């Protein structure tokens, strides 16, 4: 109940004045879970966002506001995050990739662009391998490794993973602040913490242990014959160079004055880049 009330209050305060109403939707997965997503706008092409590790769908509120005027926008709460529940034993990578496919089916999404941030980059790419969809028209990958260049230095090694509830909550509070270079809007840090601490710590850390190596994601990227935009902070600049040299339809933008949540820190720049990317698409 606590997570529902906190996120609902944040959603109401952020979205109530919008010209394009945001709907809070649920769908039932093939393994019986009720998963949540936000939806706004309309158009022949849908934009489907998948947030990062433990983040709620509301993290993309600026994108819903900016993009729903011309597109149908959907933002998934992955299982175990936001208002989507899941027991720890049902958080496997294959299930989370399947959830994206089932969202597309149950929301009757036709032509679409997938947008993944952080852990969502890996899950969107995994989805394209496991569930190829002929209606995919483009891909946006936000600030995570795509298996190219040298592996970036880890920022959350296993040795630093606290498993006690109090220690984990303290870690999440630091983590939530660290993803922003500039102060986020009021209430965001609390809402992120509420989403991030609904899973037991061991289950939350387990989401990061994907059963594939870096080469899996590189092959997934190169196998896609769709326009691709890589929106990153400077630590992934080397990977962006290899991407644009090896993928004929890829472009990249380095956000110099932004943290990991670059679409929040530099929302105007990111939204402008999204619109330009969408306009270039056939």
What residue has token string 């996120």? 7
Residue of 79, 97, 96, 118 lying closest to 199 (CA atoms): 79
pLDDT reading at 264 higher than 60 = yes
Mean pLDDT of the region 10-36: 77
At 127, the pLDDT band (50, 70, 90 cuts) reads: very high
Mean pLDDT of the region 241-245: 97
What residue has token string 């906190």? 6
Mean pLDDT of the region 163-174: 95
Whether the Cβ atoms of residue 101 and residue 133 lie closer than 8 Å to each other: yes
pTM, entire model: 0.92
SS3 57: helix
At 154, the pLDDT band (50, 70, 90 cuts) reads: low
pLDDT reading at 115 higher than 80 = yes
Q: Which CATH architecture has domain 2-151+159-280?
A: 3-Layer(aba) Sandwich (3.40)
What residue has token string 């899996």? 216
Mean pLDDT of the region 257-263: 98
Could you give the percent of the chain with pLDDT greater than 90?
86
At 20, the pLDDT band (50, 70, 90 cuts) reads: low
Q: Alpha-carbon Rg of the chain, whole angstroms? A: 17
- ∠ Cα 117 113 104 (to 5°): 95
Give the span between the Cα atoms of 136 and 127, in whole angstroms: 11
């Amino acid at each position: 109940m606590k997570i529902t009330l906190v996120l609902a209050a944040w959603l109401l305060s952020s979205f109530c004045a919008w010209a394009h109403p945001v709907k809070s939707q649920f769908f039932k997965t093939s393994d019986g879970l009720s998963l949540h997503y936000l939806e706004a706008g309309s158009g022949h092409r849908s934009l489907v966002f998948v947030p990062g590790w433990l983040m709620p769908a509301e993290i993309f509120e600026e994108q819903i506001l900016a993009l729903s005027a011309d597109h149908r926008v959907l933002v998934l709460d992955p299982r175990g995050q936001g208002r989507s529940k899941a027991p720890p034993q049902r958080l496997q990578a294959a299930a989370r990739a399947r959830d994206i496919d089932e969202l597309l089916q149950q929301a009757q999404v036709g032509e679409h662009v997938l947008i993944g941030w952080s852990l969502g980059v890996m899950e969107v790419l995994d989805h394209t391998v496991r569930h190829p969809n002929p209606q995919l028209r483009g891909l946006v990958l936000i600030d995570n490794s795509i298996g190219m260049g040298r592996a970036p230095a880890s920022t959350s090694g296993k040795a630093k993973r606290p498993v006690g509830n109090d220690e984990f909550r303290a870690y999440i509070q630091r983590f939530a602040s660290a993803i922003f270079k500039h102060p986020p809007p009021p209430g965001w840090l609390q809402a992120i913490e509420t989403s991030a601490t609904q899973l037991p710590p061991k289950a939350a850390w387990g989401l990061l242990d994907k059963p594939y190596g870096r080469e899996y994601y590189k092959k997934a990227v190169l196998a896609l014959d769709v326009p691709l935009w890589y929106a990153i902070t400077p630590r992934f600049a080397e990977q962006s160079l290899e991407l644009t040299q090896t993928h004929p339809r890829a472009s990249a933008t380095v956000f110099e004055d932004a943290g990991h949540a670059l679409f929040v820190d530099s929302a105007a720049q990111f939204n402008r880049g999204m619109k330009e990317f969408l306009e270039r698409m056939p």
